[in-house]
Structure formats: structure tokens, C-alpha cells
Amino acid sequence: MNAGEMDRKTRERLIDLAVAWDGSLTRRQFLYAGGLSVVGLSALGPWLAAEAAPPVLVLPQAKGLVLADPTKCVGCRRCELACTEFNDGKAAPTMARIKVARNLNFGPRGAALGRDGQGTWGNGLVIQEVCRQCADAACASACPVQAIGAKAPANARVVDKEKCIGCRTCVSACPFRMMAFDDEGGRATKCTLCDGKPKCVEACPAASLRYVAWRELSRSSLPRSHRVERRDA
């Protein structure tokens, strides 16, 4: 079996699984062997999952991250537009790697709370969600083809478009729902920190975003509920 055949088979099976599991895939459902990811344990038999150790994927620590201050966000979405226009040449907020729109009107808990939530309809607070550039990056660990790695100079966790097979496993794996997907290219995409000069930070008219030295935020952040928002998936 050559690499191309392996990729095709892997891709087909993983896409099937991603659909079947409806977003519940995590990195624990994968093993790494010989540099190639193989199919998740759940597909082989749930009894194996309990025995499986999480894969270890060591990435160099990111040098920075975007720190968002929701108390200053004015909800203009210029950060989302700068992200995709200045990096990708298109206005495509659904593939922005900073996410504001999903919290803009009602906050992270959605419209169910009516005026009692956050956002424009609630208390005015708009939470800008950003990639934590996790030390133990779930997106990278979950990727069946190791397409997500650290990229100098900022060591942001970056999707290698050439390797990505478009299976969306990383999209499901990120507990903060920060992966994006480029429908045109059929590839996942994520915050690259714009090589240390984030476009979103430059674009914010309210100075609500800062590019700061990396710090551990993933452990102090609550995962984003999959129930609330599926648009970015």
C-alpha cells in the first residue's frame, strides 16, 4: 500500500466516522503508529477505548497568543473580516479564526435567554473567542494525518494545507470550537497568529485585542458547548 492509497482510505473512513459521531470525536479515539494516524478506537470496538492511553504529541510552546477583553468589544466584527480578507482574500466570517458573530446578538448561550443573556440583546457584553494555542493542542492530537503543527516564528499551531485531508476531525476535537473550515479549499484552518502580527489585533477599533506572550489559558477556559453553535463546524 502506498501513501496515496493510505490517505484515501483513511480519509473516507474518517469522514464517515466524523459524520456518524456527530461531533463527539476526541483525540482519545485515535492512536498514532509509525507516523500515520489510524482509525479511532471506537470504530474498532469501544472496549479498547478504556484501555487506550492518550496519544502524546509534543509541540514547541507558542510564543504568543491573542488575548481578548470582552469588556471593550464593540461588536463590529472587523477582526473577523481582517482575518479572512487580509489572509485569504475573501470576506468569510464563518471561516474566521477569531469568532465574534456567534456571540454577538445573544451571547454564548444563544437566543434561548432572550434579553437575559449577553450580547447586543442582553447586557451588551460581546465575547470574542480566540485560539488558546494550547500546549496540548487537541486539534493537533486529533488530526489523523498530523497536518497540524507548530510553525515558526510564533510557533502557532497551524494547519498544513498540503497535508490536511479535510476530514474535520480537528473541528470536532477543539473543545473551544475554534477551528474553522474553508469550504472552497476543502481544508481545515485555524489561527496562525499571522506570524506574530495578528491582523485581528491590528483591526480592532476599540483596542479590545492584544497580542501577548503565550500563557496557559486552555485549562482555565470552559469548553464551548457543541449544542449552542454549529455554524463554524
Partner 1 sequence: MAAYGGWAGKVLRVDLSTGRTRTEGTIERYRDVMGGTGLGYRVLWDEVPAGTRPYDAANKVIFGVGPLAGTGAPCNGRTSITTLWPTCWPTPLVGTGHMGGQFAAELKYAGYDALVIEGKADRPVWLSIVDERVEIQDARELWGQGIRRTTVEISQLLGADSAVAAIGQAGENLVPLSVVMTGYSHSAGGVGSVLGAKNLKAVGVRGTGRLRIAGSKEDWERLVKLHLSLLGANNQHVVPDSPQPWAEYYDPGSRWKAAPGRQWGAASVPIDTGSCDPKDLNRIAYRTNNAVHYLGSIAWKYTVRGNGCSGCPIRCHTMIRVPAAAAKYGIPEMGQNTCGGLNFGRSFFKDFPDGPRGQIAVEACMVGMHLADDFGLWCNYSQLQRDFKKLYYDGTMRQKVGADEFKRYAWDKYEKGDPSFLFDLLPRLARREGELGTAMGLGTGQLLERWGLSEAEWKKDHELQYWKLGHPKHHSNEDAGQCGVILNTQYNRDAQCHSHANFTRNGLPLAVQKRIAAEVWGSPDAVDAVQAFTPMNAAKARMTKWSLLRKELHDSMSLCNWMGPWVASPLKERGYRGDDSIESLLYSLVTGDTKSREELDLVAERIFLLHRALTIRDMGSKEMRARHDTIPDWVFEDRTGKPAFSKGTIRMDRKDIDTAMDLFYGEMAWDTATGAPTRAAYARAGLSDVAQTLGEKGLLP
Give the residue with the Cβ less far from partner 1, 55 or 124.
Answer: 124
Number of residues that bind partner 1 (CB under 8 A): 50
Quick check: 171 binds partner 1 (CB under 8 A)?
no
Please tell me the distance from the alpha carbon of residue 155 to that of residue 166, in angstroms, as a whole number: 22
- For residue 196, the SS3 value is helix
Q: Which triple of cell numbers denotes residue 186?
A: 476543502
What is the residue whose three cell numbers read 461531533? 23
Q: What's the chain's length in residues?
A: 233
| Window 58 to 117, contacts with partner 1 (CB under 8 A) | 71-78, 81-82, 84-95, 101-102, 104-106, 110-112, 114-115
Give the residue with the Cβ less far from partner 1, 49 or 125.
Answer: 125
What is the residue whose three cell numbers read 477569531? 98
Quick check: 124 binds partner 1 (CB under 8 A)?
yes
Q: Which stretch binds partner 1 (CB under 8 A): 15-23, 29-37, 172-180, 200-208?
A: 200-208
Quick check: 184 binds partner 1 (CB under 8 A)?
yes
10, 147, 182 from 37: Cα distances, Å = 8, 11, 23
- For residue 99, the SS3 value is strand
Binding site for partner 1 (CB under 8 A): 71-78, 81-82, 84-95, 101-102, 104-106, 110-112, 114-115, 120-125, 183-184, 199, 202-207, 228-229, 231
